[in-house]
Amino acid sequence: MKKILVVGGGGREHTLAWKLANDSDAPQVFCAPGNAGTLSVATNLDIGAEDIPALLEWAKRERPDLTVVGPEAPLCAGLTDLLEAEGLSVFGPSKAAALMEGSKVFSKDVMAAAGVATAASASFTDVNEALAYVRAQGAPIVVKADGLAAGKGVAVCSTIEEAEKAIRLTMEDRAFGDSGSEVLIEDFLVGEEASILALVDGERAVMLASSQDHKRIFNDDRGPNTGGMGAYSPAPVVTDELWPAIQQQVIEPTLAELKRRGIVYKGVLYAGLMIDNGEMKVLEFNCRFGDPETQVVLPRLSVDLGPILLACADGTLSEEMVQWKPQESVCVVMAAGGYPGSYEKGTVIEGLTDAGAMEDVVVFHAGTAMSGDNVVTSGGRVLGVTAMGTTLREAVDRAYDAVSKIRFDQAQYRTDIASKALRRG
């Protein structure tokens, strides 16, 4: 491949662009819109990830060999369908398939029909009925906006009062816009989370290395949910015994049920799992690479990424195409002060060169931009500092050593990334 377009401008997209740019055939990579980090591996385009007409116009004119769609919003808006109609190869599911993330109620319906284990739930479009349900069910309980909410539409509520507040915030105050016109209320699941990213070519599914995200803002999984404060790979909670069960009891039945409904899935199917005593249930499905899971999974891939993603688009994926390095990896997210609430932008970031010069370290940019010669903050999650190691402990220590070299005003990050795995020994 000579030309690849990566749609998006976050940490996931920087990771994708970085990995693709390092493929052996050295393709020219374009990012729309990209960030300050993608400038070193790609050509940034002044096109927003959700500007479907401009993306379509560029792709029709430039004819990239492959378009890789990073975020869920353009997928749910049908970007893949429009590009494929122009005869272009696209990595990312169709609008119909992306509904697995675009509607939590639809996703639950698919799981129920497929016999996939998940939390018991009920959905509501009437706020009073939703309030009555949580009062009858009790707490802890989980309230989810049905539609897209940038990873922030889920409230894990330890009391009925918290659940009532979450319902009103979502349905009455419309904190997540129209995504909150319907809510899904789920039983609270106990256990340890894991993320499984499966590559799908319409027929076959190949699971990528396991990982674990850290959703809460503070150490010990306290505070509100975020888009993810760090990750590591592999996740030991996903045991060798559990691995084939995930393929056979989660991924394959889900894809079969979608096909029964006339929906052919291509791209990434991301299963968020809750695992307790070797038993698993699906928390959610996403229709794209996870962020920050991508930042720990892709650096472990020992082969070129482009041909694998193209095989998903063309229907020629095979298990043998995916090979792994033996090292383990850790990503620590450095966020702006105040995130996931309001935060300042435009703060100068220092120490990036020192951190990036470290062996087995890559600093992936998420919310960054250029201001003159300076890299500055432009989002809530600013950087994903990723390190590899022969052991998880080595990777953790290396990642935090790199974090210590980076400075920006009011930077915040968790200091316990991968601690659950380390406690397992």
Tokens of 340: 């996931």
The CATH-assigned architecture of domain 3-97 is: 3-Layer(aba) Sandwich (3.40)
Q: In this structure, are residues 18 and 306 in contact, taking their beta carbons and an 8 Å threshold?
A: no
Domain extents in the chain:
3-97, 126-181, 192-321, 328-424
Residue with tokens 């039945």: 253
Q: What is the mean pLDDT of residues 139-149?
A: 93
pLDDT at 36 over 70: yes
Q: Count CA within 13 A, CB hemisphere, residue 40.
A: 17
Q: In this structure, are residues 207 and 238 in contact, taking their beta carbons and an 8 Å threshold?
A: no
The predicted structure's pLDDT at residue 396: 98
pLDDT tens for each residue of 282-296? 999 999 999 999 999
Output the average pLDDT for the chain. Answer: 96
Other CB atoms within 10 Å distance of the CB of residue 33:
17
pLDDT at 202 over 90: yes
pLDDT at 425 over 70: no
Torsion angle of alpha carbons 220, 195, 364, 223, nearest 10°? -30
CATH topology of domain 126-181: Dna Ligase; domain 1 (3.30.1490)
The predicted structure's pLDDT at residue 225: 84
pLDDT tens for each residue of 388-417? 999 999 999 999 999 999 999 999 999 999
* pLDDT band, residue 200 (cuts 50/70/90): very high
CA angle 201, 206, 207 (to 5 degrees): 135
CATH topology of domain 192-321: D-amino Acid Aminotransferase; Chain A, domain 1 (3.30.470)
Specify the pTM. Answer: 0.96
Q: In this structure, are residues 17 and 24 in contact, taking their beta carbons and an 8 Å threshold?
A: no
The predicted structure's pLDDT at residue 424: 83
Q: What is the mean pLDDT of residues 268-279?
A: 96
pLDDT at 362 over 90: yes
Rounded to 5 degrees, φ, ψ at 197 are: -105, 120
The predicted structure's pLDDT at residue 100: 97
Q: Quick one: how far is CA 121 from the chain centroid?
A: 23
Q: In this structure, are residues 30 and 61 in contact, taking their beta carbons and an 8 Å threshold?
A: no
SS3 content of the chain, % helix, strand, coil (to 5): 35, 30, 40
Least confident of 30-39, 111-120, 149-158, 296-305: 149-158
One-letter amino acid identity for 356? G
d(Cα 277, Cα 240) in Å, to the nearest integer?
A: 14
User: What percentage of the chain carries pLDDT values higher than 70?
Assistant: 100
d(Cα 142, Cα 156) in Å, to the nearest integer?
A: 5
Tokens of 70: 């990073």
Q: What is the mean pLDDT of residues 91-100?
A: 98
The CATH-assigned architecture of domain 328-424 is: Alpha-Beta Complex (3.90)
pLDDT at 322 over 80: yes
Pick from 224, 154, 199: which is nearest to 308 by CA? 199
